[in-house]
Amino acid sequence: MVTSTPDTTIDAGAEKRFFIEMLTKDIELLPAIVDLLDNSVDGARGLHPDGDLSGQWVKINFGNGSFTIADNSGGISAEIARHYAFRFGRSKSFTGVKRSVGQFGVGMKRAIFKIGNAFSVESAHRGATGKDDGSRFDLEVDVEDWAIQGDWTFQFNRVEENISLLPIEAAGTMISVTNLHPSVQDDLNDPTIVQALRTELRIRHQESIQSGLQLFLNSDKPLSASRPSLQASDVVRPVFKEFQVSGADGGVVDVKLYAGTVAPPKREKEIDPEDDGQAENFQDPGDAGWYLFCNDRLLLVADRTPITGWGNPAAAYHPQYRLFRGFVYLSADDASLLPWNTTKTAVDRDSPVFRAVQSEMKTTLVAVQAVINRAKQVRARVEDEDVKPDLLVALDETPDKPISSLATSSQMVTPAAPPPKPKAPPTPKIQRIQYAVDLDRFEEVAQAIGASSGSEVGRLTFDYFYDQEID
Amino acid sequence: MMIVDACRRLTAIAPLVKYQYVGFGGLEFIDFVEFHRGLGVPQMTSIERDTNMQHRLDFNKPYKSIRVLMGEARDQLPQVDWTQLSITWLDYTDVLTTDILRDVDFVVRSSQPGSIVIVTVNGATTKVPVPERLSNLRASLGSHVDDSLTEKDMAGWGPTKLERSVLQATAHAAGRQAHGLPFRQLFNFHYADDAKMLTWGGITTSSSLDRTIDSCRFEDLHFIRGDDDPFEINVPVLTEKEIAYLETELVGIPTPLPQIRGISSAEIKAFAQVYRWRVGSR
């Protein structure tokens, strides 16, 4: 007798089309491009554990139906390319760059799929010793063709291994995407979107730019980054706390938290104090809020939502807080300890690391708000002839200093608010009465009531009426 | 002062001189005197919102070293040095509001683990008819009010119990976020003088300190309450002679309790619970 074993296997494989769609659905173009840049920055940081990125560059160019990002960040070795770099999701056995931004192993592929339907990658890697252990490769992929293949593989066009790169040859990677999606093509031709991209790159990677990385966007001139600054002097000390939070598996996240105020813009000092309450209501919040960096990549920009304490437990944002700035830097050797989501567009609120940091942000925000509130109260009660109180002089005149120059301070220190002057005792409310009467009748009344002056007659007759009719 | 008595047990955590006291002293600074005499707490800060009282406050403060901060608690609390252990008593006369909750949230977060936080609020029943109590509380506390509550829950001490649960929930969350462990409630006093009042409080803890706090053995004190069930301070009106008699008889709390003809045993029991602290006036 023949016994047959029933087939117990169920096909749960993924359609590549579906996979590509799911992967790219939740990311927008700008974050996708920032994601590509993250890879280049990680490479550069890997080359310079000391953090000095001088000499490192990343060039982004687009137009004429293509998008290219090139860097000298060390390149991808053929071996890494073969086994890890193009896999979807990070393999457990891959030990990435310390203090990296990339973490999930989806950023580069997702970004490429988001931008277009065909791409090529060229990379040159010098190797650990630089002698006969370098590699070079290039590959080209047509996403449409790849989607109908069964295999989850790409093919090298050309690969050279165990070579030595010339000293002048830049070790790095160039990714070119062609056959752009029509919407992407339109976006990249839209000047406002290009401007938004420029701002996004400059802000998100401001720390790396500060550290010497040159970032070019369709230009020969590198982008500049603003240097986070707060008002600081002998009399004004912003909050600067340094502490560590333990993450899962014994890992440690280093935290630096800075918060305070920035100097008011020039024009604001001239606002008529009478008008202050009105005028400030129309002021743009601008850059006010919290900035949260994870491994120097900016995650929250000018955040004024409850996630950073606004409205809970601190007061909700109001224009009087427009000069508030807070900068929080989380860094960890293991990027998976950091509280970001996979698109690096939002924080992971459930992360215990973030909760601990969030709590510090909340109390710090309350403290800085309290300084601003006290100053506002002092401003409201200062009179023209008064000498301007030290607190207001300090907050109006103290210039900003880069936060890197600050000393630690658990509180925001400012000159004390002068005590309010006790109010004068309330003056009794009075109503004056004046009226004219016939002189003869006045004299009769004056005689009857025993009074001599007009004011006395007036008062006594009023009292008489009050006693008789009201009291 | 039962709370002072409980705070003596903080010596298991740190010498009491390492604690500071933060309160709303008013003109009388009664709590400041109690905490200083009872615990020897050297450093004290009083917050006063009525800025017209400055001169009288300076005159009335019992110890020159008391730091007086003038202004709303919300704006003044951040000026306290929270890097020190603290005993903070936010003694409001008002009904609980979201503004008060924010102050509580701030203090619980800011306080070092091992610090005491106490809040006194009006029990939310004064001059408010029962049918309006729930809607009033919903108006002032918003989403903090449990949806499942009904008007029936608002009789008697109902609103006060609601206030306690909202305070504890706020402190629980703040403690968890800031220190890794929820706030441990120790106090839940109900008492009525002119109005029903709630004094709630407890201690901030962390995973490294939690066992030390266990060793304080707060729960050995009969008035410690970790849950919704309050300790009711209910002082019977007695004469000097009756008090003197009961005191001589009570020590060691004999059973049966001593009796005085004409005074119910419930009243004597209530007195026995509080006589050591001379709660209320003679």
Contact A411 B78 (CB under 8 A): yes
| DSSP secondary structure, A26-44, as one string | T--HHHHHHHHHHHHHHHH
Structural domain spans, chain A = 16-217, 229-405, 439-466
Q: How far is A356 from chain B (nearest CA, A)?
A: 6
pLDDT at B109: 94
Contact B55 A373 (CB under 8 A): no
pLDDT tens for B186-241 read 999 998 877 899 999 999 999 999 999 999 999 999 999 999 999 988 888 888 88
pLDDT at A273: 46
Judged by DSSP in three states, B208 sits in: coil
Which of A307, A349, A359, A373 is best to mutate for the B interface (most B CBs within 10 A)? Answer: A359
Of A314, A367, A419, the CB nearest to B54: A419
CA A466 – CA A469 distance, rounded (Å): 5
Residues B175, B256, single domain; the answer is: no
Residues B246, B227, single domain; the answer is: no
Residues B251, B147, single domain; the answer is: no
Contact B174 A359 (CB under 8 A): yes
User: What are the residue ranges in chain A where pLDDT is below 50?
Assistant: 269, 272-279, 281
How do beta strands A229-231 and A252-261 pair?
unpaired
Contact B102 A313 (CB under 8 A): yes
Contact yes or no for B165/B146 (Cβ under 8 A):
yes
Residues B56, B153, single domain; the answer is: yes
pLDDT at A200: 83
Helix (H) or strand (E) holding B198: strand B196-203
Given the candidates 3.40.50, 2.60.120, 3.30.230, 3.30.70, the CATH classification of the domain at A229-405 is: 3.30.230
pLDDT tens for A267-298 read 654 554 444 444 454 556 778 999 998 888 88
B50 vs A69, higher pLDDT: A69
| B84: in domain | yes
Q: How far is B20 from chain A (nearest CA, A)?
A: 17
Q: What is the pTM assigned to this prediction?
A: 0.73
| DSSP secondary structure, A204-273, as one string | HTHHHHHTT-EEEESSSSPPP-PPPEEE-SSS-B-EEEEEEEE-GGG-EEEEEEEEEE-PPPHHHHTS-G
Any residues with CB less than 8 A from the CB of A133 and at least 6 apart, and which?
A127, A162
Contact yes or no for A337/A248 (Cβ under 8 A):
yes
pLDDT at A326: 95
Residues B255, B127, single domain; the answer is: no
Residues B225, B105, single domain; the answer is: yes
pLDDT at A93: 65
ipTM value: 0.74
Which of A138, A135, A116, A118 lies closest to A127 in space, CA to CA? A135
Contact B52 A373 (CB under 8 A): no
* Chain A, nearest residue to B102 by Cα: A313
B17 vs A430, higher pLDDT: B17
Contact A377 B77 (CB under 8 A): no
Residues B226, B247, single domain; the answer is: no
| B282: in domain | no
Mean pLDDT of B257-261: 83
Residues B167, B262, single domain; the answer is: no
Helix (H) or strand (E) holding A122: strand A116-125
pLDDT tens for A321-352 read 999 999 999 988 888 888 987 777 788 888 88
| B188: in domain | yes
Residues B223, B244, single domain; the answer is: no
Contact A370 B75 (CB under 8 A): yes
Residues B139, B256, single domain; the answer is: no
Contact B83 A313 (CB under 8 A): no
**pLDDT tier, B281 (very low <50, low <70, confident <90, very high otherwise):** very low
| DSSP secondary structure, A410-434, as one string | SS-B-PPPPPPPPPPPPPPP-----
Q: How far is A14 from chain B (nearest CA, A)?
A: 40
φ, ψ of residue A3 in degrees (nearest 5): -105, 135
Contact yes or no for B112/B122 (Cβ under 8 A):
no
Contact B180 A356 (CB under 8 A): yes
Per the structure, how many domains does chain B have?
A: 2
Chain A residue numbers touching B176 (CB-CB < 8 A):
355
Q: How far is B230 from chain A (nearest CA, A)?
A: 27
Please give the mean pLDDT across all residues of chain B.
89
Residues B264, B147, single domain; the answer is: no
Residues B83, B128, single domain; the answer is: yes
Domain of residue B210 covers 2-232
Chain A residue numbers touching B82 (CB-CB < 8 A):
363, 410
Q: Which residues pair with A135 in a beta bridge?
A: A125, A161
Contact B109 A359 (CB under 8 A): yes
| B191: in domain | yes
Of A355, A360, A370, the CB nearest to B78: A370
Q: How far is A106 from chain B (nearest CA, A)?
A: 31
Mean pLDDT of B154-158: 88
CATH number of A16-217: 3.30.565.10
pLDDT at B40: 92
